[in-house]
Amino acid sequence: MALLLLGQFMSVLDTNIVNVALPTVRADLGASGSGLQLVVAGYVIAYAVMLITGARLGDLAGPRRMFLLGLAAFSATSLACGLAPSTGWLVAFRFAQGASAALVTPQVMSMIQRGFTGAARARALSLYSAVIAVGVVVGQVAGGLLVSADLFGSDWRSVFLVNVPIGVAVLVAGPRVLPADGERRGGGLDPAGLAVLTPAVLLFVVPLILGHELGWPLWGWFALAASAVLFAAFVGVERRVVRRGGRPLVSGRILRAPGLTPAMLTNALGPGSWGAFLFTTTLHLQGDLALSPQESGLAFVPCAAAFTLVGLTWQRTPARWHRPLMPIGFAVAGVGYLFVGPLAGGGAPYEALTAVIGLGLGVIPIVMTAALAGVPPQDAADGSGLLLTVMQLGQVVGVATVGTLFLTLAEHDQSTRQAEYGTGWALAVVGLLAAGSALALLRRRPAPVRAAA
């Protein structure tokens, strides 16, 4: 489990660790504004596009083998990023690094789903969610520390090169520790579904990530419209695959798993508000509050600690409380968001507020447990890939919508503090919508928690 979580931690870390290094990347490589955007966004784009495919590859080749292969590719592409001679090469390697991460992450979920049952599975998923939360904060802090340290004159390159020794260590230990792959499933990759889903996700994610910086160009709106058409076409393609006796990328059996659909919606809204909160708060901390990158990263420690505390302790509460905790948690976060503006002056009250929000969002591991509870072990790879893709897209949408609102208000008022008022209300709406969708999960009678197999 430690090795799996370390692999997941590396994947999350590289989503954020590069942010504070961008000024030095610009100075060293002469990168343009759009080039810097692609250095950040390229990773996320490739990651989101490849997640479902990565899950299916793990199902076909075995999650243990694909985890190690993906980690080897991730380490190699991290080295390539660290040695990139120009902006163009760095952007290309970041896309490859994101695709490599998409091979690693679904295998973590699949091996948890297949290797643990009952209380042990819930505990493993809680650890998994805690690593995601902590990885975001550590990424922001570590990036600033590494760039400031300028190890061996590496400057910004150290934020990528740090992955290499960690990856090598996991690759050495992995074959000795990770469980052997069991029986593999057939059915192929569903090339028709892959050919439609990949551009659909790409056309959806790219304009949302780059839209604000580019002034929401017309091509972005056309891309979003085309993605909607392709998602509709994907449904038809998958139905055709089933009629022909093939195995679709997203099967109706998985979507019909008890509680999965409302859990997916909740898992998009909750993490979506989390991603938007981290994005906008970071800009405010380094804006009107004038904190350094390291200080702004450390400011999130109470929030991450509270998130982790709930994620690791919720299963110690009586079983009858588990499902009600989901809407209650998101409601707490939603109400907390309302005070983001009034307390935006910083200090202890602001830190306490971030902890309250972290406590509320700490129920995300419960949602993940509920989402996977009804998925059969043989569908673990496809279920985890779908769940992770929905979570990733939820965060992209959250940052694109709420983040754009924040940036627009900040530009209009020339103040990030003033922008926090409108942003807090928008975040509250998303949080309360997550609470509402979580209410649907209360309709299912909770399955009894079983001891670990």
Q: What is the mean pLDDT of each run of 10 residues along the chain (453 residues)?
A: 88 77 80 75 84 84 91 95 92 93 88 80 78 72 72 79 91 88 67 87 86 85 95 90 81 76 88 86 85 77 84 78 89 95 90 93 82 72 78 84 88 89 95 92 53 35
What are 371's two structure tokens? 């989402």
In Å, how far from its chain's centre is CA 307?
A: 15
Residue 187, pLDDT score? 59
Residue 69, pLDDT score? 95
DSSP state of 395: H
Residue 238 φ/ψ region, left for φ over 0, alpha for ψ in the -120 to 50 degree band, beta for the rest:
alpha
Question: What distance in Å separates the CA atoms of residue 161 and residue 142, rounded to the nearest whole number?
Answer: 13
What are 270's two structure tokens? 């909750």
Question: What distance in Å separates the CA atoms of residue 132 and residue 362, rounded to the nearest whole number?
Answer: 11
Question: What distance in Å separates the CA atoms of residue 90 and residue 335, rounded to the nearest whole number?
Answer: 41
Residues in the chain: 453
What are 138's two structure tokens? 């550590």
Residue 183, pLDDT score? 66
Q: Residue holding tokens 């949080």?
A: 431
Q: Which of 405, 395, 336 is nearest to 16 (CA)?
A: 395
Per residue in 256-278, is it b (16+ CB within 10 Å) or e — as a string? ebebbebbbbbbbbbbbbbbbbb
* Cβ neighbours for 199, distance < 8 A, ≥ 6 positions apart: 227, 230
- At position 370, the amino acid (one-letter code) is A
Residue 331, pLDDT score? 95
Q: Which helix (H) or strand (E) holds 195?
A: helix 191-210
Q: Which helix (H) or strand (E) holds 37?
A: helix 33-61
Q: Please, how many CA atoms are within 13 Å of residue 365, restricted to the half-sphere of its CB?
A: 26
Determine the Cα angle at 250 with ends 231 and 239, to 5°.
70
- At position 272, the amino acid (one-letter code) is G
* Cβ neighbours for 111, distance < 8 A, ≥ 6 positions apart: 4, 63, 64, 67, 178, 179
Q: How many CB atoms lie within 10 A of CB 86?
A: 12
Q: Which of 323, 273, 259 is nearest to 432 (CA)?
A: 273
Residue 452, pLDDT score? 35
* Cβ neighbours for 316, distance < 8 A, ≥ 6 positions apart: none
Q: Residue holding tokens 């702004």?
A: 296
What are 408's two structure tokens? 């627009």
Q: How many CB atoms lie within 10 A of CB 451?
A: 8
> In the chain, how long is the greatest CA-to-CA distance?
62
